[in-house]
Amino acid sequence: MDLRRHSRSTGVQLGRSILYFIGSYLLHFQANYVIDYVEGLRENCCAAFTGIIQALCRGGGDTERGKKLIRPHLNVVWHLVLQVASASNPASPDMLCASALALVGDVITAFGQEIVGVADTEQVRILFNRCLKSNNHKVKTVANWVQRTALKLNPGSKMGSGSNDGNVTMGA
């Protein structure tokens, strides 16, 4: 009788351990799914902002009116870019980083001298360097385009020269 009770309590403990393991696994799976979802959402938000900026500021219409419409919302755009650049996941998808950097390039193109100094931050440099180191040709192309755009407007731009590891710089 005593042996059964011990066997039963061991079985309950084993069952609890299995449930804990399954719960931990599902929580980990759910956390990864949420991270992927948020990264996909950020990438699509970058694409949406890029489309809006291109349509209003370079669409061939009244670009000053477009800039006036966008200017009050630039803080939201920069907040999104900074979130992507300072993401705790250094393995963020290359296309997310490229989308954020392309958004920076479109803002620089649209607002020119007015914004190029604001875009020359450590976070944007980190984002630039991550894109430049990518194995994806499209991502590197975006980084090179942003480099040319920033240097055209501000030849003394330090954008890209302050990488954390010092391997890749944007300067000529």
Give the pLDDT confidence of 13-23 residue by residue, as tens digits: 655 666 566 55
Tell which wins on pLDDT, 44 or 9. Answer: 44
In the prediction, which pLDDT does 167 show? 33
Question: Quick check: pTM over 0.85?
Answer: no
Say whether pLDDT at 131 is over 70. yes
Say whether pLDDT at 101 is over 90. yes
| DSSP annotation string for the chain | -HHHHHHHHHHHHHHHHHHHHHHHHHHHHHHHHHHHHHHHHHHHHHHHHHHHHHHHHSSSS-HHHHHHHHGGGHHHHHHHHHHHHT-S-TT--HHHHHHHHHHHHHHHHHHTHHHHHHH-SHHHHHHHHHHHT-S-HHHHHHHHHHHHHHHHH-TT--TTTT-SSSS-----
